[in-house]
Amino acid sequence: MTTVELGNYSLAFAMLAGCVGIFGSIGSRRLDSPSLLGVARASIHWLTALLTISCAALMVAILRDDFALTYVAGYSERALPLGYKISAFWAGQPGSLLLWAWMLAVMSSIVAIVIRKSPAATQAPTLGILAAACGLFPALMLFFAKANPFYLSGIVPPDGSGMVPLLQDPAMIAHPPLLFLGYAGLTIPFALAFGALIGGRTDAGWIPAARRWTLAAWLFLTAGIILGAEWAYVELGWGGYWKWDAVENASLLPWFTATALIHSLIVQQRRGMLKIWNASLAALSYFLCIFATFVTRSGIIASVHAFEKGDALSPIGWFFLITMIVMILGVVGVMLWRRRLLKSHRPLENLISFESGVLTANVLLTVMMATTLIGTMFPVLSKLVTGESIGVDEKFYNTVILPMFIALFVLMGAGPALQFAKARRGVGRRLAIPGIAALLAGAATAIATAPAWLEMSGMSWVFWKTWEAWKAWVAYWMPCVWMTVSVAVATLVVVGIADDFLRNLAAKLGDRSQDVVVTMGRVLRGNLRRYGGQLTHLGVVMMLLGVAASSLFSIEKKLALRIGESAELGRYTLRLESVDEIRKDNYQALAARVAVSGPDGLQSILGPEIRQYFKFDELNREVAIDTGLREDVYLTFLGAEDGGRLVFIHARVNPMVLWIWIGSIAMAVGSGVCLFSRRRRAAPQVTEADGEVQ
């Protein structure tokens, strides 16, 4: 049997296993048969085994340079280094679908093992949902040649066409698998929540597991999104990291709902509230992962990525569309059928409480998701309504979503002071210190950023008279206003967290003289989940500052330099030392050597390049970055004239970009701590008197 046959047969049997799982699950409930439940469980493991065989077959084909497979010929080549050959597995659509399917199957198997002893009433529907979700992928790959990694076109080229140079980057190896881990992981909370719902379960027993899976999936999704942004920054050379492109948005959609779900599940676990929210958020998170694929694969939106015609739906698009419609109907049907189980245990008692804080965050995150969704679908929606296709660019997202982000930060800052159930008098007092700190930091930022802009605008008060001048004046002040607001909310969060920690420390220390460091450790260990969450919030704050500073205060200049000449950029002097021709195995390049001197003398030597890969006609510009906590010096080699003696360089100074990457590491560590920490004691049923958030 050839690898291709092996791959295809195992896909076919995997689809069959999916069907068996679905029928086993339904049958075990109808006939009340434990053995059918065993069949459903076994079918999940069969799916995993069969998809593992498929993956192995594809990997062998790639490593063996089996260019008979269209997929291998399209994304690999003989000369490709081993690491990139492995990543060719997920460089294209069919392979990435197979990877996603396999990851989902492995996770489903873990779930099937963990829940094997739970009551059949909830176990059966969970297994059924997982079997259906896994089985969807082999079906897709078998029905559509375009989605099948084992497709043979009948032509065997002598060598593959290779991987596009832009994708030959370490971040690009890890980015897709991380996203797919996130997408696959978000299937599990959905299966658990709806398993419990269909099974008629009334207790909160499924929540800890669902929360953990959501957290893990969120961690992977976040890491994947940020690695993609990092790749765009270091590889694409336009100096930015996020552009609100359709594909970027697609991965952000489930992120919004998963973020909401993580917080909202706490409220259901502790207070028996927000049940409709949680069921909807779990379903939406899963749904949006499928939708993300729909957007990027169907060609329904002409974006930089999905460049297909932009109006006609491909067969795969129809497949996804029908799947999504069936899913929505199913989810809504189940929620209506079991609406009595989704009733809240108690009403929302007060506007100032942890529950209402989370509820507000849920609303904000959902609206942000909806905004991103509407913005992404705008060309399609406007065509349906007006017959004319109108799209929106990043200005739309920045205008609508950034204020909501700021509102989220205010909630984040209030978080540690809020308590369950009731507004205690203490809330105002507890927020006093962070609030005052925020105001002071905001005022300092306003003073620090304002004069520069006043100088640059060169406008006097007289110009206020016309509307246009007023608008220009507002635009000039925008960076100062945004930075002030960002620093203020960042301070609110940071001081709020510090204040909360010190209060807990002081309470533990009491008046006895104990060792402060030991007690600190005890306070942290005593509630790892709380402090893990707060570390994640600190990471988000760092990111906010990085994004605000780099998007508001970056400076750029196009330089034309001859060897030995210098140019000024901000507080730096850039001097062109030399221009060299480089020849490597798979490309040749022109490399500039630029000495970057700051106020303290020579800081670094940067070498931006223009590469010509032999397999590709297009030029590839390799940016050079001198990164630092304060700012990055970012050089793009534009071109050369006069036999390489006159060099054109696009030079930028991007403030605080490093904070974004450091913040993302803090987020990963923080959520990792939450993920692996166990609760000290079983969750107590919260009484009215017990308010402290754990």
Partner 1 sequence: MNPTRVKFLVAGLILAGAVGYLGYAGVMAGRASYLTVDDFLADTKLGADAKYQYRDAERQATRPVRLRGKAIEEGLVIDIETSTATFTMVGEKAESGGLPVVYKGVLPDLFKAGVEILVTGRMGKDGVFEADVVATKCPSKYGKGPAESETP
Among positions 614-633, residues that touch partner 1 (CB under 8 A) are: 617-621
Residues 416-475 that bind partner 1 (CB under 8 A): none
Alpha-helix residue ranges (DSSP H) falling in 144-274: 170-185, 187-198, 207-235, 246-271
- CA distance linking residue 236 with residue 240, whole number of Å: 9
Choose between 235 and 632: whose C-beta lies nearer to partner 1: 235
**Does 371 participate in binding partner 1 (rule CB under 8 A)?**
yes
236 binds partner 1 (CB under 8 A): yes
Q: Is residue 243 near partner 1 by the rule CB under 8 A?
A: yes
- In the complex with partner 1, the residue whose CB is nearer, 95 or 546, is 95
Taking the least distance from each CB to partner 1, the nearer of 24 and 379 is: 379
> What is the DSSP pairing of strand 555-562 with strand 601-606?
unpaired
Binding residue (CB under 8 A) for partner 1 from 400, 427, 446, 481: 400
Query: Closest separation between CB of residue 503 and partner 1, Å?
Result: 28
DSSP annotation of 67 reads T
Which one of 27, 149, 239, 435 is in contact with partner 1 (CB under 8 A)?
239
Strands 609-613 and 619-622, how do they pair? antiparallel
**Region 42-81 residues binding partner 1, contact defined as CB under 8 A:** 75
What is the bridge-based pairing of β-strands 566-569 and 587-598?
A: unpaired
**C-beta closer to partner 1: residue 316 or 495:** 316
Is 404 a binding residue for partner 1 by CB under 8 A? The answer is: yes
Question: Exposed/middle/buried for 329, CB within 10 Å: 0-12, 13-18, 19+?
Answer: exposed
If one asks whether residue 238 binds partner 1 (CB under 8 A), the answer comes out as yes
Place of tokens 């593959």: 160
Number of residues that bind partner 1 (CB under 8 A): 78
Instruction: Answer whether 15's CB lies under 8 Å from 125's CB.
Output: no
DSSP state string for 424-442? -THHHHHHHHHHHHHHHHH
**Least distance (Å) between residue 518 CB and partner 1:** 44
d(CA 207, CA 197): 12
- Closer by beta carbon to partner 1, 563 or else 638: 638
Are 173 and 99 in contact by the 8 Å Cβ rule? The answer is no
Q: Are 486 and 544 a contacting pair, CB within 8 Å?
A: yes
Nearer to partner 1, 344 or 597 (CB): 344
Nearer to partner 1, 123 or 222 (CB): 222
Identify residues 648-667 at the interface with partner 1 (CB under 8 A). Answer: 648, 650
Stretch that binds partner 1, among 100-108, 130-138, 371-379, 673-681 (CB under 8 A): 371-379
Nearest distance in Å: CB 56, partner 1: 21
CA of residue 472 relative to chain centroid, distance: 35
CA-based nearest residue to 497, from 559, 565, 412: 412
Among 38, 333, 403, 426, binds partner 1 (CB under 8 A): 403
Stretch in the footprint of partner 1 (CB under 8 A) among 5-13, 136-144, 372-380, 471-479: 372-380
Q: Of 235-243, 476-484, 545-553, 664-672, which part binds partner 1 (CB under 8 A)? A: 235-243
Which range of residues in 18-26, 111-119, 120-128, 158-166 is near partner 1 by CB under 8 A?
A: 158-166
Residue 285 Cβ, how far from partner 1 at the closest point, in Å? 19
Binding to partner 1 (CB under 8 A) within 534-563 occurs at 558, 560
How far apart (Å, rounded) are the C-alpha atoms in residues 544 and 550? 10
Kindly identify the residues of this chain, within the stretch 260-319, that bind partner 1 according to CB under 8 A. 296, 302-307, 310
Minimal distance, residue 127 CB to partner 1, in Å: 31
Choice between 235 and 499, CB closer to partner 1: 235
- Cβ-based nearer residue to partner 1, 93 or 445: 93
Binders of partner 1 among 479-538, rule CB under 8 A? none
Q: Is 640 helix (H, G, I), strand (E, B) or coil?
A: strand
Q: Does the footprint of partner 1 cover residue 23 (CB under 8 A)?
A: no
Report d(CA 421, CA 687) in Å as an integer: 9
CA 258, 260, 266 angle in degrees (round to 5)? 105
Edge-to-edge strand ranges of the sheet holding 624-626 = 555-562, 646-655, 631-641, 624-626
Burial of residue 583 (number of CB atoms within 10 Å: 0-12, 13-18, 19+): exposed
Note whether 182 and 98 are within 8 A (CB): no
